Amino acid sequence: MFRYTKPRKYLSRIAARHLALALALMSMATTTLAGNSMNVTVEEMRLIPAYCPHTQGWAYGSPESRSWEARMGKSFSHMHHYCMGQINLLRALSSGTPEATRKSMLSNVRADYQYVLRNSTRDFVLLPEILTRTGEVELRLSLFKEANNSFAQARALRPEYWPAYSHWAEFLIKAGKKAEAKQLVKSGLEYSPGSRVLREQYRLLGGNPSEIVPIVQKPAPESTGETAAPALAEQATATRDDGEDPPVSGPEQQK
């Protein structure tokens, strides 16, 4: 049976941070944050989005929380599920987690992500990211059909969001479907020609990134009363050139 892993160097930096956290959790005395029901440690909080301390269960309703909600919209009220899901994902991927426990935790992570997807507005700026994260978890659970659908939805919402291409392409490569993977990566590069991850994948699949003809997208029409969502989308999911996934948060991860 196919088992999803992320061994490629260009997809390994976030996994390395997860491993570092797991090792730290095994050797340190646990320091938890007040006001949360999951006994989230300071170290865990540093690895999840900067807005998480301002979601429900933490400091929801604070001035900072209201600022985040003004930028993200009403769907922000559900983001505590996404934050809890990411914490449980870190714990599930810890080397000391038994396999049965890991599978159960991953199922809970998926359920938390799906809760946000079900209850968010269709124009919520972080939907492509959450769909992509859902697809990653579904791959780990061997839910391949569901993962394919999650990645496809993310690409449909935000064609230039390169992780929605790269993770599914990695699966296709491992499954021996290199021609299909190459076509998918090519499509991703047409929308996100600056993605180092996609360019490296395309080279490994025998393609020449310099031959890609970028698709010029039409700018969205201006409208009155627009929120800050477009700008936030750029901060949250803009293509980076360092081989990492775009930041999960808005502006920057907590240091």
Provide DSSP, 179-198: HHHHHHHHHHHHH-TT-HHH
The CA angle 116-74-40, to the nearest 5 degrees, is 55
As given in the structure block, the two tokens for residue 52 are: 């998480």
Confidence (pLDDT) at 114: 98
Residues 41 and 254: beta-carbon distance below 8 Å: no
Question: Residue 38: its pLDDT value, please?
Answer: 65
Q: Which of 239, 252, 251 shows the shortest CA–CA distance to 46?
A: 252
What pLDDT, on the 0 to 100 scale, is given for residue 183? 98
Domain ranges of the chain: 8-124, 157-215+233-249
Dihedral Cα 70, 84, 240, 221, nearest 10 deg: -30
- Residue 1: the pLDDT is 52
Alpha-carbon distance of 36 to 252, in angstroms, equals: 22
Tens place of pLDDT for every residue, the chain, 255 residues? 555 555 455 555 545 555 454 444 443 333 334 444 568 888 888 898 989 988 887 766 778 888 898 899 899 989 999 999 999 999 999 999 999 999 999 999 999 999 999 999 999 999 999 999 999 999 999 999 999 999 999 999 999 999 999 999 999 999 999 999 999 999 999 999 999 999 999 999 999 999 999 997 755 443 323 333 444 554 443 333 344 444 333 333 333
Total count of residues recorded for the chain: 255
- Predicted TM-score of the model (pTM): 0.75
CB count within 10 Å of CB 144 equals 16
d(CA 76, CA 250): 12
Neighbours of 236 (CB within 10 A): 23
95 DSSP 8-state letter: T
Q: Kindly tell me the sign of the dihedral angle through the C-alpha atoms of 54, 60, 62, 68.
A: positive
Q: Which amino acid is at 46?
A: R
Q: Would you state the pLDDT for residue 42?
A: 85
H-helix or E-strand containing 145?
helix 144-157
